Amino acid sequence: MQPHRQLAETLRSLANREHCVFATSDLAGAVPGCGQLAVLLSRAAKSGLLRRVCKGIYFYPVPDYPLGNLLFHAAARLRAGELNYLSLETVHSDAGVISQIPMNWITLMSSGRSHVVDCGDFGHIEFVHTAQRPDAVAGELAYDPDRRLWRASVRQALRDMKATRRSLELVDEEALHGLV
C-alpha cells in the first residue's frame, strides 16, 4: 500500500475529536518504514488530508472539533516533555482581569526556553521561560481538560507577569482584587 493511502486509512480509523492533533513522531508510527516522512507529510498537507499547524505539528480535521482549542492542543504537543502551564495574559483575559482579549495568541510559562511559535493562520503560541520548580507552583495550578494544559490561578498569573516584567497597564485592579 502506498504511504499516503496508508496514512489516510490509519487517520480515518483512529483519529477522533479527542485525538486529532499530532506531532511528526506520532504520524511516523502510522507509516512505519517510510523513508521520506517529511515529503509524505508535505503532500498530505497539500492534498488536504492534514493541516500543518506549525513545524512538527499537524491537525487532522474531524467533525465537531472546537477550533478555538487548536493552539492549546498544539502547545501541549510541542512541549510535552516540559513543565508548561497557561498563565500571563491568557489566564487574566479568561478571568476578566484584563479588558482586551488576545486574539489567536496564547501565553504559557515553560521550563523550556522562551520562544514564540508562529502557527500561521491559527495564531501564535508564546512560551515564556520560568525557572520555578514544579513543586513551587503546584498549589497554584489546576488542570484544564478542554485545553489539555495546566492553568495558573489568577494570583500565580499575576506573579508570573511581575517576574517576567510584563506590562500591567491593562490589568483591572478592581477585578483583580475580587479574585486574589
pLDDT bucket at 172, cuts 50 / 70 / 90? confident
Is 77 within the bounds of a domain?
A: no
Is 73 within the bounds of a domain?
A: no
Indicate whether 111 and 54 sit together in one domain: no
User: What is the mean pLDDT of the segment spanning 103-130?
Assistant: 95
Evaluate if residue 31 carries a pLDDT over 90.
no
Adjacent-strand bridge partners of 58: 22, 52
Question: pLDDT per residue over 54-90, tens digit each?
Answer: 999 999 999 889 999 999 999 999 998 899 999 999 9
Q: Which three cell numbers, joined as nine digits, stand for 127?
A: 512560551
Q: What is the mean pLDDT of the chain?
A: 91
Percent of the chain whose pLDDT exceeds 70: 96
Enter the pTM of the model: 0.90
Indicate whether 51 and 140 sit together in one domain: no
Adjacent-strand bridge partners of 84: 110
Write the DSSP symbol of residue 51. E
Q: What is the CATH number of the domain that holds 50?
A: 1.10.10
Using alpha carbons, select from 77, 74, 75, 101 the residue that is nearest to residue 90.
Answer: 101
Domain that holds residue 107: 82-179
Is 65 within the bounds of a domain?
A: no
27-38 burial code (b ≥16 CB/10 A, e <16): beebbeebeebe
Indicate whether 39 and 91 sit together in one domain: no
Indicate whether 55 and 86 sit together in one domain: no
Distance CA 28, CA 43 (A): 14
Evaluate if residue 180 carries a pLDDT over 70.
no
Number of domains in the chain: 2
How do the residues of the chain divide into helix, strand and coil, expressed in percent and rounded to 5? Answer: 40, 25, 35
Using alpha carbons, select from 125, 153, 148, 142 the residue that is nearest to residue 66.
Answer: 148
